[in-house]
């Protein structure tokens, strides 16, 4: 009888290996089909990294991990928190920021308001490593990674995006090629990049932002009106899908309709995994992009913080009120 035959050691090993392999395949299948897998894939791991980890490790461990509630992972990763501590910045030997500190927790939108020349753009450009701004000390951590000292491309890869107050014109480089090159440069494996998907996404976002599709082939910001430049900044932001966005006076140069469209674009990107710093001179923008906190900047420092009512107070009383209070 074949069933009564005793297995040799080799056969026994083979059976055990087969059972383990089967369990591995089943657990990987189970994981790939689970909603948690889609969540992890979308928010935490690029697909190729994920596959590498799944196939190089025992499937059962991943099976277990994929069953953990997403909040556990989120707390662990502490996504998209920007923490600026004691930042001091000079321009041409003139001190603009001195011991500047600010923390924006993941998922929150903070606004910085302040009179012209108070150092708002200096803060944003120093965080993005503009070469004219000399950082003398301090840190600026995005999810624990210090951005100070990194090159602009490394900062972009770390997840920070800056929409410029004065976007520069780049004749000869079309919007479509510029954004495509930027996306590809940030990808770990640019072979996965599909032009068809890219154009589909680009056109969808251009339509949402009210940008004519003819602009796809126009040179970046070349001859654009103030409002067109600002919409183009938001288009880049939407396409690059950054973890933290700084908008430097994106409202300037926009008429009321464009302001509404741009704000809707920003609001649609708000999520618990992304933070925003919105710099503005006027309260009007904050009617559309309602901030969690408002800070007032004055001579390179935050001198007041409050909720959205603070912005309304500034609008009615002007900045002189703050100046007088500080002088007293
Ligand atoms: P804000 O954005 O709040 O209007 P900025 O950060 O642009 O203020 O400017 C802060 C101060 O730094 C101002 O006094 C401004 O004149 C000065 N400043 C900004 N950029 C330069 C520069 N490239 N060279 C010299 N001074 C500058
Ligand atoms: Mg400015």
Nearest CA to ligand 1 atom 7: 121
More confident residue, 324 or 22: 22
- pTM score: 0.77
Residue 24 pLDDT greater than 70, yes or no? yes
171-228 residue pLDDT tens: 999 999 999 999 988 887 767 788 899 999 999 999 998 899 999 999 999 999 999 9
d(CA 324, CA 328): 6
Distance 23 CA to ligand 1 centre (A): 63
Residue 72 pLDDT greater than 80, yes or no? no
Residue 19 pLDDT greater than 70, yes or no? yes
What is the band of 80 on the pLDDT scale with cuts at 50, 70, 90? confident
User: How high is the pLDDT of residue 4?
Assistant: 59
List the chain domain ranges: 9-77, 82-327
Residues 263 and 210: beta-carbon distance below 8 Å: no
- For the ranges 31-40, 105-114, 216-225, 312-321, the lowest mean pLDDT is seen at 31-40
User: How high is the pLDDT of residue 239?
Assistant: 95
296 - beta bridge partners?
Answer: 113, 304
Residue 159 pLDDT greater than 90, yes or no? yes
Per-chain mean pLDDT for the chain? 86
Mean per-residue pLDDT, 279-304: 94
CB-proximal residues (5 Å) to ion ligand 2: 120-121, 165
Which CATH homologous superfamily contains domain 82-327?
Answer: P-loop containing nucleotide triphosphate hydrolases (3.40.50.300)
Mean per-residue pLDDT, 77-94: 88
Residue 163 pLDDT greater than 50, yes or no? yes
User: How high is the pLDDT of residue 55?
Assistant: 54
89-108 residue pLDDT tens: 999 999 999 999 999 999 99
What's the Rg (C-alpha) of the chain?
Answer: 25
User: How high is the pLDDT of residue 322?
Assistant: 81
**Pick from 298, 302, 300, 296: nearest CA to 98:** 300
Choice from 88, 89, 90, 91 to test ligand 1 binding pocket (greatest atom count within 8 A of CB): 91
Mean per-residue pLDDT, 41-60: 57
User: How high is the pLDDT of residue 190?
Assistant: 66
**Encoding tokens for residue 10?**
């080799």
Residue 40 pLDDT greater than 80, yes or no? no
Q: Are strands 301-306 and 219-220 parallel, antiparallel or unpaired?
A: unpaired
Nearest-10 Cα torsion for 92, 95, 97, 100: 130
d(CA 52, CA 162): 32
Nearest CA to ligand 1 atom 24: 91
Distance 249 CA to ligand 1 centre (A): 14
User: How high is the pLDDT of residue 328?
Assistant: 76
Percent pLDDT > 70 in the chain is 84
């Amino acid at each position: 009888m074949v069933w009564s035959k005793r297995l040799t050691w080799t056969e026994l090993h083979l059976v055990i290996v087969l059972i383990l392999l089967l369990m591995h395949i089943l657990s990987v299948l189970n994981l790939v089909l689970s909603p948690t897998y889609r969540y992890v894939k979308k928010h935490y791991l690029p697909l190729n990294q994920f596959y590498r980890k799944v196939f190089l490790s025992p499937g059962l461990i991943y099976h277990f991990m994929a069953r953990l509630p997403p909040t556990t992972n989120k707390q662990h990763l502490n996504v998209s928190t920007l923490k600026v501590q004691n930042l001091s910045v000079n321009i041409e030997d003139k001190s603009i920021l001195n011991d500047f500190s600010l923390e924006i927790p993941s998922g929150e939108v903070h606004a910085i308001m302040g009179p012209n020349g108070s150092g708002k753009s200096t803060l944003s450009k120093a965080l993005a490593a503009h070469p004219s701004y000399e950082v003398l000390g301090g840190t600026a951590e995005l999810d624990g990674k210090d951005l100070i000292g990194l090159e602009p491309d490394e900062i972009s890869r770390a997840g920070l995006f800056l929409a410029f107050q004065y976007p520069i014109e780049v004749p000869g480089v079309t919007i479509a090629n510029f954004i495509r090159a930027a996306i590809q440069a940030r990808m770990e494996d640019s072979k996965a990049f599909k032009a068809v998907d890219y154009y589909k996404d680009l056109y969808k976002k251009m339509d949402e932002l009210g940008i004519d599709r003819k602009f796809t082939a126009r040179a970046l910001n070349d001859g654009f009106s103030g409002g067109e430049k600002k919409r183009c900044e938001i288009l880049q932001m939407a396409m690059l899908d950054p973890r933290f966005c700084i908008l430097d006076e994106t409202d300037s140069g926009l008429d009321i309709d464009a302001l509404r469209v741009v704000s809707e674009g920003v609001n649609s990107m708000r999520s618990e995994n992304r933070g925003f710093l919105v710099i503005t001179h006027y309260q009007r923008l904050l009617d559309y992009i309602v901030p969690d906190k408002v800070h007032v900047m004055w001579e390179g420092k935050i001198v007041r913080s409050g909720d959205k009512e603070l912005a309304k107070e500034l609008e009615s009383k002007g900045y002189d009120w703050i100046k007088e209070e500080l002088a007293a």
